[in-house]
Amino acid sequence: MSQPQTISPKPRTLTIKQIAENRSARHEYFITDEIECGIILTGTEVKALRLGKIQLTGGFARIDNDELWLENVHISAYEQGNIFNHETRRRRKLLVHQKEIKKLKTKTQSKGVTLVPVRAYFKGNKVKIVIGLAKGKKAYDKRETIKERDVKREMAKE
């Protein structure tokens, strides 16, 4: 007698769709470590994000009572929203394991280190935010980064 064949389900691949990237964070800071976080949003915020209406520039993350909060990130109001539309610059809770929050807390205790949002994207139907552990650059570091980028661009042309 032959063995019955088992049908294995197809592996699901999650599509990743970029919403926004914080280019100024890479210019203003050295990003040493990155962590992917979930985010708690309302319905109109998700609809606005599907239209790409988010601005990460100037945003930062803060740890309060062992919870990670995203602050000063602008998500535009959804145009078809009604009286239940969201506030544009409200605090939003980030979803991260407690172990990772404790690790981030110890790293941000040192002077000049902060948490900044680097990019936002859809992973499947969930919104994810990448938070970077950032240390501020000096003016000469910024000029050096621009020089390196220009040299790479010239090499690519040749």
pLDDT at 142: 77
In a domain? residue 32: yes
> What's the whole-number mean pLDDT along residues 33-51?
89
Give the distance, in angstroms, between the CA of residue 7 and the centroid of all CA atoms in the same chain.
Answer: 38
Whether the pLDDT of residue 4 is over 70: the answer is no
pLDDT in tens, 138-153: 777 778 888 888 888 8
**Paired residues of 127 in beta bridges:** 122
Domain membership flag for residue 10: no
Q: What is the mean pLDDT of the chain?
A: 86
Residue 22 lies in a domain: yes
pTM of the shown model = 0.78
Q: Are 107 and 113 in contact (CB under 8 A)?
A: yes
Domain span at residue 85? 16-153
What's the number of domains the chain is made of?
1
Sign of CA dihedral 28, 32, 34, 40: negative
Residue type, 11: P
pLDDT at 3 over 70: no
- Six-digit token pair at 27? 């210019």
Asked whether residue 3 is assigned to any structural domain, the reply reads: no
- Interatomic CA distance for residues 124 and 7, integer angstroms: 24
Find the CATH number of the domain harbouring 55. 2.40.280.10
Tell me which of 13-17, 19-23, 39-43 is least confident: 13-17
